[in-house]
Structure 1
């Protein structure tokens, strides 16, 4: 059995317009009657929600640093029943960690190679013409084994600019799949972690429909469909992560939203019940849940509301007396004693851990993490190695509890953000992607 044909949308760098192209392409192909399966290469946990809104089908991360072949195959198998796959790369096409882990560098090029998806390179041609071909040719030749579909020229200033840029591409023998004129209204809103969340966009449906109309007018959709290709199907969904409990109360709102989709898919596929609740709406977790899981998100933007959410906090504390609670990144911060916002105001959190964090002086924390558990956490026993990703701007002010894990970055350097444990409560700054053996 083979996967449906696919493509990977990438670029020389961030900020070239590939997300706009991705969303417009997903919607345009869906409007043409195709069932489109989106994916995201790399650990970004914001883009998949935008993909789902555009394609009407859940998007999943594929990560060559954090995921072994069985898990990559299981996630790729989610494309069964689709007519075409469109994946979005992270950063630049070949960008990854400096020192590969046991699995890979985590680059979008590795994802395309492993899945057999030809690359569509989105080039910002502002300020250049024929010279853009030298950039594209360099990307084409950097790894000759990488399948290459062609280029989409973005932010083209005029018909003359397009003509000159096309001349360069023709000389380099690179197919031009589309030319997008410069428009200032095609940028998605951003905040310090990148794009705002899909649920926060003031008019996401209208924006995506506009991207699709724009792509349809300026991109050769038939040529893109013909360029799609793929490799053999991987293992079945049996290799997806197992659930950490049977009944999982999962915080889900604008403050807590970052859980990797393949985890939730694996939990559901194994028969676990996911019971969503909203701390921002002052909802308590289900009283009969076996586990409460607080994902990452933006608790610092809602700290006052969370501090005043008595039903939520009381229900969380009652649960923690007898059953496990786990928090990731923002969820971890919410389990602590206090959270200091960017204005220096301290907000009382759940107090289930002694952690105090602050956004008053921003500290950039970004990168893959490998954690060796020193104690049990939901779904994993002490001694297990996990892979994840960390991305936040908070600083630790106090962390008096026992460490949960030894945590290393992608180059093997051990860091101070060990997570915490106290009683039935655990927390980590990294977002779980997979067990190291998966």
Structure 2
């Protein structure tokens, strides 16, 4: 099989364009992965190749656990990992593209911007190659190339300076197919033929056979399961998931399917009700605080009634971020469920972004623009450094728990069971 990670020197260098094109090209047998805690890119990956994308996070999970996740889900001919930010960014948390490539022993394909440069690109590559000698950089693709002559100039310099780097090809500047398409927020509305045209144009001057040759991968056997064993229980969990509540790690879903005898997906926007025999409710993160999002769910009365009944029956609820806000009294002038005694306000700047340690022993990430109006009923502190000063970020009311923290379940099984009263 083949496996590789796509990286660059920073964000906004074209990783998404190249990843999109390769996922489309290999769509008949490809498993997408995303480095880090991102929820958005994996949703786009699935749209492109109709296969669930898996997060690889070496901050939330330890190395052996991430290796198990990668090998467990590398069930296709090709595994493609989309990196995050620049190649070494996140190294302080052990979660950079460099760290993941080295850990998994997979090739790194660097996408380098060639705008207004040629010899200097080789110097940049030398810096990336020598910063950490145990990196897995095997090849480069050049982006924003003005002509074939421009490409040949750069290629000649790189091949002259390096005997261990393949130059796979180039992406021309000002692609026609991308002129009216924003790969990212608009991807859900991109037509299939448009994706095909993008893929063809992006990959037009890239040697796919050479890519396959340098990214050969021998999958390791998962003989050691580096997590607590999951034993199925005869209970039912309801996952609240729709356009507002959409942040779901696929492996978290699989954990819930392995743990509970019955799993149902509830769509509040369609006013679907939580089953009366449901034992647990899991409300995902996402967006509920904006006017547009709130309008979608404002009149979901049957769903709200079923949630209140679930809480009234002293059954368990676990909610992340948008789920937390939804359970609160209000976000500014937007009335919420009033299940958790807290109010929030939407700010113009980020309140939290990045990885956090939680005082309950869980590691995860948070990203939000809301902040509580007061924290007198709050529990659990999120801090950037372990056991350091932080801010309160979770609320609890009997069997209902809401938190700003997003995390992964497989390596936090004991704590998950606590929150679900198991």
Judge conservation of contact 2:359–2:387 (CA < 8 Å) in 1: no
Judge conservation of contact 2:232–2:258 (CA < 8 Å) in 1: no
Residue ranges of structure 2 left out of the alignment (5+ in a row):
415-422
Other structure's SS at 1:398 match: coil
TM-score normalised by L of structure 2: 0.88
Change (3 A) 1:120 1:89: same
Residue range with higher mean Cα deviation, 225-234 or 12-21: 225-234
Task: Report whether the alignment pairs 1:71 with 2:71.
Answer: no
Task: Report whether the alignment pairs 1:388 with 2:364.
Answer: yes
Judge conservation of contact 1:240–1:263 (CA < 8 Å) in 2: no
Task: Report whether the alignment pairs 1:353 with 2:328.
Answer: no
| Distance (whole Å) between structure 1 residues aligned to residue 155 and residue 143 of structure 2 | 12
Judge conservation of contact 2:346–2:371 (CA < 8 Å) in 1: yes
Which structure 2 residues correspond to residues 19-34 of structure 1 after superposition, within 5 A? 19-30=16-27
CA offsets, 1:102-148, max 9 Å, x none?
Answer: xxx21111111111101000111112122111112211222221222
In structure 2, the residue matched to 1:183 is 174
Judge conservation of contact 1:252–1:277 (CA < 8 Å) in 2: yes
Cα RMSD between the aligned structures? Answer: 2.5
Which structure 2 residues correspond to residues 21-420 of structure 1 after superposition, within 5 A? 21-30=18-27, 35-96=29-90, 98=92, 100=93, 105-173=94-162, 174-183=165-174, 185-186=177-178, 189=182, 195-196=184-185, 201-203=188-190, 205-230=192-217, 233=220, 235=222, 239=226, 242=230, 246-301=235-290, 302-321=293-312, 322-340=314-332, 346-373=333-360, 385-403=361-379, 405-410=380-385, 412-420=387-395
Question: In the comparison of the two structures, how many residue pairs are matched?
Answer: 404
Q: 1:229 deviation in Å?
A: 3.4
CA offsets, 1:164-190, max 9 Å, x none?
Answer: 222322222232112000125538648
In structure 2, the residue matched to 1:422 is 397
In structure 2, the residue matched to 1:343 is none
Other structure's SS at 2:144 match: strand
Change (3 A) 1:298 1:135: same
Change (3 A) 1:151 1:45: same
Q: 1:85 deviation in Å?
A: 1.3
In structure 2, the residue matched to 1:14 is 11
Change (3 A) 1:155 1:171: same
Q: 1:284 deviation in Å?
A: 2.1
Change (3 A) 1:287 1:127: farther
Q: By percentage of residues, which structure has more helix?
A: 2
TM-score normalised by L of structure 1: 0.85
CA offsets, 1:372-424, max 9 Å, x none?
Answer: 32xxxxxxxxxxx2121111222222344241x23222465332133010122
In structure 1, the residue matched to 2:417 is none
Q: 1:80 deviation in Å?
A: 4.6
Q: 1:205 deviation in Å?
A: 3.2
Residue ranges of structure 1 left out of the alignment (5+ in a row):
341-345, 374-384
| Distance (whole Å) between structure 1 residues aligned to residue 189 and residue 385 of structure 2 | 36
Change (3 A) 1:232 1:327: same
| Distance (whole Å) between structure 2 residues aligned to residue 419 and residue 229 of structure 1 | 45
| Distance (whole Å) between structure 2 residues aligned to residue 286 and residue 218 of structure 1 | 54
| Distance (whole Å) between structure 2 residues aligned to residue 9 and residue 259 of structure 1 | 23
| Distance (whole Å) between structure 1 residues aligned to residue 38 and residue 59 of structure 2 | 13
Change (3 A) 1:197 1:421: farther
Judge conservation of contact 2:23–2:80 (CA < 8 Å) in 1: yes
Other structure's SS at 2:178 match: coil
Q: 1:364 deviation in Å?
A: 3.7
Residue range with higher mean Cα deviation, 201-210 or 363-372: 201-210
| Distance (whole Å) between structure 2 residues aligned to residue 39 and residue 148 of structure 1 | 18
Q: 1:7 deviation in Å?
A: 0.6
